[in-house]
Amino acid sequence: MSSRSTRYKPKSGWRRKWFTVIYEADTPGGKLFDIILLILILFSVLTVMLETVSFIKIKYGSTLLMIEWILTGFFTIEYILRLIITTRPGKYALSFMGVIDLLAIIPTYIAFFFAGSSYLLTIRALRLIRVFRILKLTRFIGEAQTLSLAMKNSRYKITVFMVSVTAIVTIIGTVLYMVEGPEHGFNSIPKSIYWAIVTLTTVGYGDISPQTALGQFIASIVMILGYAIIAVPTGIVSVEMNKAQKKNDFKTCPKCHNSYTPIDAHFCPECGTNIEEYEENKESEKA
């Protein structure tokens, strides 16, 4: 993130100086700015939350509203500054973080027209992702990439899984609707499907639950089924993570093709070949 955005760093002047502070976290100034920003974000999310707690609103309502306005003012200025000091404002405005930064200030202004929209300010929570910039950035990005690579690689398996689960849940919901009926809380098929999801995911609120013996028998089968089904996504992700991990740990020896050569080995543990030398020779042979 940091390395990518430096491409848009102004060559000189006050904009360059501010760019270092606002977009980067390597200088003391940049770090301080990011820490203050995070505290303000946390503080503003907390303000929005507390505003919905009735007894707090009655007592401190106007104070909270004032804080919200001041913070929104600050975030608005910050957003405009970000647009000004980069050489490619359009790029920032359309980036993931740019869109979130905008969404994090709009609701306050909309609240003039639609009361209640200010609750959407909790979207500011997403801005907390910036925390990774202050901490050792590269390491976290690496971990996040391992996670998202594992997720990406399993997308076909997960699609197969999700379509199957949707079909299963629809049919279970219908059967329970026919068995239990509206008199036991299974008012309609959509509501029965909601129950089936609540059960299969082992959430189990208990707001709707089968009352008849047959319904409870079917429900038992569904639960044990859910027991087995929950193992599937876990298995998928485990396998993919293992693979993503292994890619970082081993390479293949160019001579004996031993695929369990540690990634940073100079000599193959199987045949003892000096790997760098071998590859240089190979290249010179080609030439």
- By CB under 8 A, the residues from 226 to 245 that bind its own copies are 226-228, 230-243, 245
Q: Near its own copies by CB under 8 A, which window of 21-29, 32-40, 85-93, 142-150?
A: 142-150
Give the single-character DSSP code of 112. Answer: T
Q: Which strand (E) or helix (H) includes residue 78? A: helix 54-85
Q: Is residue 233 within a helix (H) or strand (E), and if so which, with residue range?
A: helix 231-249
Q: Site size for its own copies, by CB under 8 A? A: 108
Q: Which of residues 154-173 bind its own copies (CB under 8 A)?
A: 156-167, 170-171, 173
Cα separation of 50 and 262, whole Å? 53
Toward its own copies, which CB reaches closer, 28 or 213?
Answer: 213
Q: Is residue 209 at the binding interface for its own copies, with CB under 8 A as the rule?
A: yes
270 binding its own copies? (CB under 8 A):
yes
Element (H, E) at 251: strand 250-251
Distances (CA, A) of 199 to 71, 92, 149, 161: 43, 44, 30, 17
Binders of its own copies among residues 56 to 115 (CB under 8 A) are none
Contact flags string 105-134 toward its own copies, x per CB under 8 A: -----------x--xx-xx-xx-xx-xx--
**Under 8 Å between Cβ of 124 and 41:** yes
Residue among 172, 209, 166 at smallest CA distance from 189: 172
Among the residue ranges 30-38, 63-71, 85-93, 180-188, the one whose residues contact its own copies (CB under 8 A)? 180-188
Cβ-based nearer residue to its own copies, 14 or 207: 207
